[in-house]
Chain A
């Protein structure tokens, strides 16, 4: 490369198309396709100690994470940091790569068996747990530096335009994958559905993708998206859902332009159904539903109850089909959804969020990570993001599950701080955070069984007795990072 000066500007002489910056140009038929994951990893110059990221849109049907780690292990790579947006029970087979030293640590959500293994002290360094928004923030801030992102793509073209709405492993939105594509040094797309160029409409553009690897299969369809998620018939959950709807109706926010987020959990789904009936009865037209999108959200869009759906992950087949066809149904990235360090995220625009919990304490702190026995079994998801953003955050839980009280003096792990939680709804009573006097005023005298949270706790213990606190060792096995990057809590090894 010859350089010379022209005025103040350093310039370079032309040496031939594609010489300085390689372009695909005339080799367009082949595009970025490479024959195998191994070859892609070689091109990406994967070395020991690198950080490899994945998205979890294929949920428990994902084949790509295990496939990639098997290949990396075969290549003799060691000491990797895994940075998945989440892991599922299907990823239990990663544990042998941890034991053999291929994987050193995990920065990302761990659900099920990998979490349990972490709680037993399998990893030498703690799992870093981040929310959906917090994960993007950490990438943006350079705290989570991803060397190689491996992105499962239900549809891809030879140039690396990626989409989730078609193909045998269709998953709908690719919301959590955007940040990986944007911030990773190298991006490898893995697909079982190579389509003609261009793969319009695409979610992730070719400008961010280095290589495309066609494989036999990336997922098990029936474990990726469920059939229609039916509203629960469990009467206890329905009672809680009814109370949520009542709280929402009287919250002062239940007017035109209303917006909400409610997950796909049993109570949340039922609560949406109850809110839907009340919106119809009151003739209210809302603005948007955000977060994980279900067939029920789609029906509410199509009924005109809401103007749009902002979809970071699509839970069922109806949601996938709607994302492909409904104009009001938009895909959004995790950053757009929940990143507090972005220039504006959706959670801040939310009126009501309905969220679950594995424990709530009398300071309204919520634990979604560890079970009552102290074992790390769940990721954060968007919990702390939506709680912080929504005007009214409603946490739903039965008073007790089995013999374990769900309302306790102090949660084992603080995932979401009590100062961002406004209402706790159980089947036997509703507690409003004393910080929210305005809300309390709105809800009083409306036939809602309002109680002090301490009384809810006592009532739970009347049924269950007072549980012994599980015993923990000294070793920290998990760090719960708040969405702003500070540490809100740590999780210790179970002994």
Chain B
């Protein structure tokens, strides 16, 4: 592996971009495919796309030649808007599922370090915090405050940033009103369709903890089944 490739790979990792190193086993010649690089015409495009999706490294055989694919995916994150009971229940669930959890809520009565030990907490408005967090296709956003003043910006920003999951708490009626507001704000209708609402996989959840499980399940499904286009970029 040449040093330039190693530097480029570490640069991708620091920038939370995915990369796959393709190494021919017979002579250890390597190349790096970065998230966003074109895979058109790449003889290993299917295998490389699969590595981008699963994050799993492994040996593949092509034309009797062995290649080792090392997948480097940024750790997936959940940004929860709303320091509510559901979010508290989500802390241990996200941790065991290996997702980093960040909680944002400007209401200082809710966003207290005592209630949110063990995760990053911002007692600030989403408009002030989210742009600095660098939301990306490896980030999920779950808006659970019920309050349009807090949730709406976060939803719009998450859609613009290509987050793999965007979910919003609220009944169908609440979501219908939300739709109207977002359309009024100029959000494309197709983007609004991508919002998971009511939030959470339908398991009949009723308690905050059960809703947290349903949200986590929906996030995992969205992550594991996310479409990867031929350029390797999650979309």
Are A and B subunits of one complex? no
Q: Which positions in A face B, CB cutoff 8 Å?
A: none
Hey, which bits of chain B sit against chain A, CB under 8 A? none
